[in-house]
Amino acid sequence: MKPDTFQKIDKVIHEKVRLAIVSLLAASPELSFTELRDNLNLTDGNLCIQLRTLQQAGYIAVTKTFENRRPRSTCALTAKGRQAFASYIGILEEIVKQNRPN
């Protein structure tokens, strides 16, 4: 693998749990906090930490609303997050291609 390929890897997305969160959000316009938590078998605390990191990087937007007087948090990928995710997949594909025997 070329050394610069590794340098290009986005460390925010590369972490396993965050990668899983971004992958789920990439396939859906938005997902609620509970949907993410149950899909990935995470604790509330762990999910909160990972969401905060993604939010700080500008990759996701968290919306807080009330439905039937109950608070509801929904997460969605931002344009920046979608772009970062696409680049990350591109790098993974590049790594696989570089090391595939001809």
Partner 1 sequence: MNTNLAEENLSLIRTLMERATVYRRALAPIMITTGVIGTTASVFGMLGKLAASLQFLACWAGAAAVALLAGFALARREALQEREAFWSPPTRRVALALLPAGAAGVIAACVETDPTQLAGWWLLIYAVGLHGAGFFMPSGVRRLSWLFLLAGGVALGWKNSCSPHVVMGLGFGGLHLVYGIYLYATRARQTSL
The residues of the shown chain that bind partner 1, judged by CB under 8 A, are 1, 6, 9, 16, 19-20, 23-29, 31-35, 38-39, 67-68, 70-72, 74, 89, 92-93, 95-96, 99-100
CB 83 within 8 A of CB 10: no
H or E element, residue 76: strand 70-77
Judged by beta carbon, residue 20 or residue 48, the one nearer partner 1 is 20
Give the integer Cα–Cα distance in Å for 33 and 24: 12
Report in angstroms how near the CB of residue 91 gets to partner 1 at its nearest: 8
Report in angstroms how near the CB of residue 56 gets to partner 1 at its nearest: 22
Report in angstroms how near the CB of residue 10 gets to partner 1 at its nearest: 12
Judged by beta carbon, residue 9 or residue 79, the one nearer partner 1 is 9
- Three-state DSSP class for residue 98: helix
Report in angstroms how near the CB of residue 94 gets to partner 1 at its nearest: 9
CB 78 within 8 A of CB 59: yes
Residue 76: strand pairing partners: 61
CB 48 within 8 A of CB 56: no
Judged by beta carbon, residue 23 or residue 53, the one nearer partner 1 is 23
